[in-house]
Amino acid sequence: MSASLNPLHLAVALDDAGWHPAAWREPGARPRDLLTAGYWAEAVAEAERGLLDFVTFEDSLALQSSDRTGPDDRTDQVRGRLDAVLVAARVAPLTTHIGLVPTAVATHTEPFHLSKAIATLDYVSSGRAGLRVRVSARPDEAAHFGRRSFPPPVGAAEPGRPQAPDLVTELYDEAADYVEVVRRLWDSWEDDAEIREVATGRFIDRNKLHYTDFHGRHFSVKGPSITPRPPQGQPLVTALAESAVPYRLVARATDVGYVTAHDADEARTIVAAVRAEQEAAGRNDDTVHVFGDLVVFLDERPGVARARRDRLDALAGETWTSDAEVFTGTPSQLADLLLEWRRAGLTGFRLRPATIGRDLPAITRGLVPELQARGAFRRSYEARTLRGLLGLPRPANRYATAATAGAAAAAGITGAAGTVGA
């Protein structure tokens, strides 16, 4: 299979000392450094050394918890984290090619604020910014803000489905509107809106700034943004999807969806479901990547990764499971699995290192060379923007055509895509 015709994309998901809850107790985990910029800079530098497409940074609006539906009382696991967007902005000047995708919770934040933050990250990184959108139905998170409340979770024993279906649908519909507002704000400045003519004293062309005038069930946002259009035009939008309602969000609103298949047949079924939703959303002409999420324990020596997982489970006091498949084995075995699942329709993978100190280097220095030897992964970065790495074009500004046609019109508002008068 030719990598040039069907390239395999790889990302890593960075979270604390690793995805296993006892990862911070692993030798070399550096738990005292988790709240330092240097720790995250070194992790991203390692990912870039492996030529990965991008990294994601986990975040939430509540302390980490072993209970998916609310806080716990455990003191033997990592609690507390830095802001993902700010970490990405700190790391950006220290990297050159790799994409930076922080997580943000749409349920309790404002799209105007986030659009500005991600646009700024795109400038700081010279076109390598993205966004992972999350929703939250947890009552404890809502209590931090006091603007809304959620009922107690139901069906908490069922992973990934802690709330009633109608609430889940409502929250994901809200997230789709959220993304639409963010995207409109990114387009609210045309690419050449900044003139910067010292001689004439004109810094901007006000006819090339546009009100978004978004009015929906969840948001009413006038615009324009206060930050000019980002270098990528539209930074990458991503989301995790574990069931039908999130698949719809991925298909309607994102560039990349992360899915949690547990074998190749399930991956094939999920990809088909996402593609059907994409067709229903009228996005057949758009590239929407579907990445498989996997937690990985990797070691070149057979059995060593398994023994490490067992040791960490013993430290945690329980057999740890995840929403995603947990792979335990060698880089060669993982390469076999990734290529099999790619044949099922997945276009890439987001790997979750069980321990950052051991499994991230095993990905970059073990798995990547194995995939390169099979002609399935790049040997150098072929683009300088994140959209370019993923084969996504820089989109045209949705307001530019209408604005050009009406450039001679009088200043002021000219409808939903109206210009901002001089």
Q: What is the CATH number of the domain that holds 119?
A: 3.20.20.30
> What is the per-residue pLDDT for 144?
86
> What is the per-residue pLDDT for 421?
58
Q: Examine residue 220 and state whether it is found in any structural domain, yes or no.
A: no
Q: pLDDT of 204-260, one tens digit each? A: 999 999 999 999 998 999 999 999 999 999 999 999 999 999 999 999 999 999 999
The strand pairing partners of 129, in sequence order, are 100
Q: Examine residue 406 and state whether it is found in any structural domain, yes or no.
A: no
> What is the per-residue pLDDT for 67?
86
Q: Examine residue 193 and state whether it is found in any structural domain, yes or no.
A: no
> What is the per-residue pLDDT for 412?
39
> What is the per-residue pLDDT for 22?
97
Q: pLDDT of 393-412, one tens digit each? A: 999 999 996 545 454 343 33
For the chain, 422 residues long, the average pLDDT of each consecutive 10-residue run is: 66 98 95 97 98 98 89 93 98 98 95 98 98 92 85 56 76 96 98 93 94 92 96 98 96 98 98 98 96 98 95 96 97 98 98 98 98 97 98 96 48 50 51
> What is the per-residue pLDDT for 59?
97
Q: Examine residue 420 and state whether it is found in any structural domain, yes or no.
A: no
What is the span of the domain harbouring residue 310? Answer: 9-188+225-391
> Cα angle at 399 between 396 and 403, to 5 degrees?
120
Q: Examine residue 205 and state whether it is found in any structural domain, yes or no.
A: no
Q: Examine residue 153 and state whether it is found in any structural domain, yes or no.
A: yes
> What is the per-residue pLDDT for 158?
43
Q: Examine residue 111 and state whether it is found in any structural domain, yes or no.
A: yes
Average pLDDT of the chain to the nearest whole number:
91
> What is the per-residue pLDDT for 154?
58
pTM of the model: 0.92
Question: How many domains does the structure of the chain reveal?
Answer: 1
Q: Examine residue 208 and state whether it is found in any structural domain, yes or no.
A: no
